[in-house]
Amino acid sequence: MMKQFAKLGLILAIFAAVACVGLSFVYAATKDPIEANKTRQVNESLKDLFADADEFVPTDVLSADPSIIFQTAYQARKNGVLLGLAVKAAGSSYGGQSVLLVGTGLDRRIVGVRVLENKDTPGLGANAKNASYFVDKANRITFPGQFAGKVVTDAFEVKKDVIPITASTITSKALTRIVKAAGDAAAAWIENAAMLAPETAPETAPEGGK
């Protein structure tokens, strides 16, 4: 009996070892393509947000919200002149981490938002990344699309000045928080940059509203 258990244990150990080796090969084979796809997605989103920019310069920007991580930020420039700042920010949502790219212009308005990663429930919170799901059906505006043009000093409160995804309040609040944190930080960075280089000083944005 003991010999049978030992033999069975040995067989299971061999299967486990083979499985681990197989998984390591799969990971090695897919890692680079996955990373390349993520890089391409970010580059396309940057160009989508700042179509006039001819370069995007990586920049360090700090988050004032410890629950929101800024993975990186990019100065959008044309002929060396600053057009705005895009922040790639990650935060916790209903299904795990969500990653957004948030563009902010010199006028301290959100240029646009792109949802890069979202693991929330399909058909509910995942609609944040669905280009054919509209929170404002009459005007065909998506959840991230509604942030374009908002002044960073707006409230950014779901069910007040932010339309939620149906039956997905947690997702809506989580993503709105990421947008707000990225917009605030970008506006502060832009203001500091304007003080250092007055020629790029932004026009004064109106207090609240669009």
Cβ atoms within 10 Å, residue 200: 16
What was the pLDDT predicted at 208? 47
**Pair of tokens at residue 33:** 């393509």
Summarize pLDDT for 176-206 with one digit per residue, the tens: 999 999 999 999 999 999 887 765 444 444 4
What was the pLDDT predicted at 3? 61
Q: What is the pTM of this model?
A: 0.80
**Pair of tokens at residue 165:** 């995804």
Across the range 56-63, mean pLDDT stands at 96
pLDDT band for position 37 (50/70/90)?
Answer: confident
Q: Are 151 and 179 in contact (CB under 8 A)?
A: no
Pick from 87, 90, 98, 89: which is nearest to 188 by CA? 87
Summarize pLDDT for 99-143 with one digit per residue, the tens: 999 999 999 999 999 999 999 999 999 999 999 999 999 999 999
Residue type, 129: K
Q: Which of 29-33, 35-39, 181-185, 206-210 has the lowest mean pLDDT?
A: 206-210
Q: Which of 13-27, 122-136, 161-175, 182-196 has the lowest mean pLDDT?
A: 13-27
Going by the DSSP 8-state scheme, the letter that residue 64 receives in this structure is: S
Give just the sign of the alpha carbon dihedral 76, 108, 182, 175: negative
Going by the DSSP 8-state scheme, the letter that residue 16 receives in this structure is: H
Q: Are 75 and 65 in contact (CB under 8 A)?
A: no
In the chain, % of residues over pLDDT 70 = 79
What was the pLDDT predicted at 161? 98
Across the range 154-179, mean pLDDT stands at 98
Integer Cα distance of 197 and 114 in angstroms: 29
Integer Cα distance of 32 and 38 in angstroms: 10
